[in-house]
Structure 1
Amino acid sequence: MAKWAIELGEHDIEFRVRHAIKGQVLADFIAKTYTIDEEDAKNSTQVITSKVENEEWKLYTDGASSSDRSGAGLMLVNPEGKEFTYALRFEFATTNNEAEYEALLAGLRMAKELMILHLRAFVDSQLVVNQIMGTFEARQPTIQLYLTKAKELIESFKSFNIEHICEAKTRRQMH
């Protein structure tokens, strides 16, 4: 999907995500057509909830900036290994570090919206990883804002780990 987004981006075609319409239709259908007694519903909900609460998702991010455009790629991988790949093109100028933070923030927002509880992020920017972990200090005001927002989003997860991954490995993982 990222490859198509890059190809279509050259022609000013914009991809817009459709929000939870399909999921809501399915939920409405199931609610109208499927009935179970209250005890079965309670038991199945507990099994599903405990399973989801202990599953860790993976997030791979790659932000980039050049003189003519900036963008990011990110991939969420569910516990079963299914990959959800996204490509972002920024309509504003960024530095490489800002693009890396934008990619991370986009991934964190998606994970939060999907109600993921356990997340392990793999980021190709050693600076971003060390700033998130508190090893490095963010000095530029813009980067301080990015760091603050990232930490706010990280608080919404039960567990969060972040690791530096070399750029070549990130690109292999995302393609």
Structure 2
Amino acid sequence: MNLEAYIDGGSRGNPGEGGIGVYFPGVVRIAEFLGTCTNNFAEYSALLSALRFAVYSRCDELQVSSDSELVVKQIKGEYQVRNEGIRPLHDSAQRWIALIPRFSIRHVRRESNKEADKLANLAMDTRRNTVKWE
């Protein structure tokens, strides 16, 4: 199975109340409230949510789109992970990625990531987790 995921994480304040949105077009929409966190923690949490879903779905190929240049470049090895608080999330993401036969991640503009952004905002607005199957 091939999957495409659009991911976004955010926090209102940095740190502040955070949430994530993960959008698999035609499959599922996930909104998760995180509580107090940094923006980068939320962005990595969105990636981890997408990776877990893909692995548990026995996905053969996953294409992730994110508007976080930092996360994309750190996952690709183009940027170092300097923040010790983020390193465990990065390392966990790499372990999940190793379980997916074909994985790619790309940076997209915010305008191309509106669905995931809406889901992250829904989580922060409602302070709830939501899963909607398509």
What TM-score, normalized by structure 2, do the two folds share? 0.80
Q: How many percent of aligned residue pairs carry the same amino acid?
A: 30
Which of the residues 115, 132, 139 maps onto 2:82?
Answer: 139
Please point out which of 76, 86, 92 is paired with 2:24: 76
Partner residue, 1:106: 49
The whole-number CA distance in structure 1 between the counterparts of 2:113 and 2:18 is 17
Which segments of 5 or more consecutive residues in structure 1 lack a partner in the other structure?
1-51
- Structure 1 residue ranges, 4+ long, deviating more than 4 angstroms after superposition: 172-175
Q: CA deviation at 1:83?
A: 3.4
Structure 1 or 2: larger strand share? 2
**Unmatched segments (≥5 aa) in structure 2:** 119-134
**2:9, 2:117 within 8 Å by CA — same for their partners in 1?**
no
Relative to total residues, which structure has the larger helix share, 1 or 2? Answer: 1
Contact 1:75–1:174, Cα closer than 8 Å, also in 2: no
Q: Deviations over 1:19-58 (max 9, x none)?
A: xxxxxxxxxxxxxxxxxxxxxxxxxxxxxxxxx4xxx210
Between 1 and 2, higher relative CO (CA 8 Å, sep ≥ 6) is seen in 2
> Aligned pair count?
116
Give the drift of 1:174: 6.6
Retained in 2: the 8 A contact 1:85–1:174?
Answer: no
Other-structure match for 2:124: none
RMSD between superposed Cα atoms in Å: 1.6
State the AA in 2 paired with 1:169: S
Change (3 A) 1:109 1:117: same
* Match of residue 29 from structure 2: 85
d(CA) in 1 for partners of 2:81, 2:39:
15
